[in-house]
Amino acid sequence: MSRVILNDLRKAFDGRVNAIRQLDLQIEAGEFFVLLGPSGCGKTTTLRCIAGLEEPDGGQVRLGERVVADAGSGLFVAPEQRHIGMVFQNYALWPHMTVRQNVAYPLKTRGRLGEEEQRRILEVLQLVGLDGHAERYPAELSGGQQQRVALARALVARPGLMLFDEPLSNMDAQLRIRLRQDLRRIHDELGYTAVYVTHDHAEALALADRIAVMNAGRLEQVGTPGEIFLAPRTRFVADFVGIENILPGRIDALDGDQAQVSLEQGGLRLVARNPSRLPPGTSVWVALRAAQLQALPAGHGAPAQALALHGVVSEATYAGDRYTGQVEALGLSLAVTLGLDAWGSPLLGRDALVGQAVRVALQPGAALAIPREAASEPLPAMRRPQEALA
């Protein structure tokens, strides 16, 4: 088990923008830590700096008490000297070796293969559920099995730190969920520190003790899955964890942990959580999850809720246990949920829903105030129609 400390880490690639800029991060021993972000945000570069596959341009990497990279003094420990296990996105199994030879390799590089080592290879193959496949070649295995071999190879030398570079992204959804559970189980059994890179927020939520969301080479937010998902601190994180409605507003007054906010468009006032303790007068983003905005038929019985606003359905998509849709109200276009209990039986088509007059009910505590700063740029690809109004 080792703690990982990144100190003012910087890395640029020739001719390109900075891949990592001034990264400070402390990962505790035994923690399952996930680096989350869109492609090109620097998460993989960070992982490769920890591994020693990239040499940082600036700053320090420490594993436990040991400094393994320090740009200031020119110190750099080669990857093979760091005693880290790593699982690659494309498995990186050597096709000319059998499963056993692949898994034996990290032990072989560190000395003779004795009885003790052979036993350990069998154990680790059992642990990943592949004990019957030791004599196969990688090409004879399925993708899921190949990734299990890669995991076994990374684990066999009992590293205190395991790195995962999007290990599940080449697999189908069901396999991904099964392997995800296995990864977490094996981590809990063996107790190593894990650093895991992914762009899939569902994967991050399922695996992590803590998550760091990265954007353009910087950390946007570090926190537990709950903090990241329920209380994103920047607009980027809110966007990335899938909050559909992010509207410009302003704080009018404070009320304990809550704040009275008014939306710039339509002048709507509502109560929002204010974890960042922003003072009155601050320009904010008001974040609202569609799941917490219920669109009910206009004549539906009035629920006792803080907000109820009238509008018209402009868009509806069937999503299994509910509809998702857009409602036009007060000049805003809001992403909402249309519950099956209110709209579902008998199942209505899209055409029957569009044009319906609705009342949108907001669950209390659902809105969140996020500081509106220039530094936190939204993802261009994820822009929503509302932003044209903002």
Partner 1 sequence: MRTFVAARRRSLTRVAWSLPLGGMILVLFVWPLVMLVAGAFRSQAPFLPGEWTLAAWRVALYNPGMLAAVWASVKLALVSTLAALLLAVGLAFVSERTDLRVRRLIMPSMLLVFVTPGIFYAVAFTQLANPWTGLVNDALRYALGIDTPWLNIQGWWGIYTVLILKKVALTYLFIAGAFRALDSSHDEASYLSGAGPLHTFVRINLPSLAPALTSVALLGLIAGLQVFEPILILGGPDNIVVIATLLLNLLGGGAGPADYAQASVLSSLFVACVALVYLGQLRLLGRKGYVSISGKFSRPRLLSLGALRLLVSILVLLFLLVSFVMPLGALLFSSLQPYPGVYSGFSFDRYVTVLQQPRVLEAIRVTLVLGVIVGGVVMTLGFAVAVLSRRLGRRSQAALRFATLIPLAMPGAVTTVAISWAWLSIPAFAQLYGSIWLVALALIVTAMPFASQIALSATAQIAPSLSEAARMSGAGPTQTFVEVILALAAPSFIAGWFMTALMVSGNLEVPLLLKSPGVNTLAVITYNLQSAGDYSMAAALLMVLMGVSLLLWGASQATLWLFRRARHLNHQRTRQRALALAAGTSGGLRP
Residues that bind partner 1 (CB under 8 A): 1, 14-15, 51-53, 66-68, 74-81, 83-86, 88-90, 92-96, 98, 100-101, 104-106, 109-110, 113, 115, 118-124, 126-127, 131, 134-135, 150, 153-155, 157-160, 163, 189-192
Given the complex with partner 1, which of 145 and 326 has the nearer CB atom? Answer: 145
Report the alpha-carbon distance of residue 207 to residue 201 in Å, rounded: 10
Q: Closest approach of Cβ 100 to partner 1, in Å?
A: 6
Given the complex with partner 1, which of 60 and 294 has the nearer CB atom? Answer: 60
Q: Closest approach of Cβ 79 to partner 1, in Å?
A: 4
Q: Closest approach of Cβ 134 to partner 1, in Å?
A: 7
Q: Closest approach of Cβ 184 to partner 1, in Å?
A: 16
Task: With CA atoms as reference, report the closest residue to 362 among 304, 300, 322, 316.
Answer: 304
Given the complex with partner 1, which of 121 and 219 has the nearer CB atom? Answer: 121
DSSP code, position 382: G
Given the complex with partner 1, which of 31 and 220 has the nearer CB atom? Answer: 31
Given the complex with partner 1, which of 150 and 290 has the nearer CB atom? Answer: 150
Q: Closest approach of Cβ 163 to partner 1, in Å?
A: 8
Q: Closest approach of Cβ 222 to partner 1, in Å?
A: 25
Given the complex with partner 1, which of 127 and 362 has the nearer CB atom? Answer: 127
Report the alpha-carbon distance of residue 313 to residue 373 in Å, rounded: 32
Residue 217 tokens read as 């080479």
Report the alpha-carbon distance of residue 25 to residue 38 in Å, rounded: 19
Question: DSSP characters for 342-388?
Answer: HHTSSPPPHHHHTT-EEEEEE-TT--EEEE--SSSPPPGGG--THHH
Q: Enumerate residues 6+ apart whose C-beta is below 8 A from 363.
A: 292, 294, 305
Q: Which residues pair with 318 in a beta bridge?
A: 323
Report the alpha-carbon distance of residue 152 to residue 108 in Å, rounded: 14
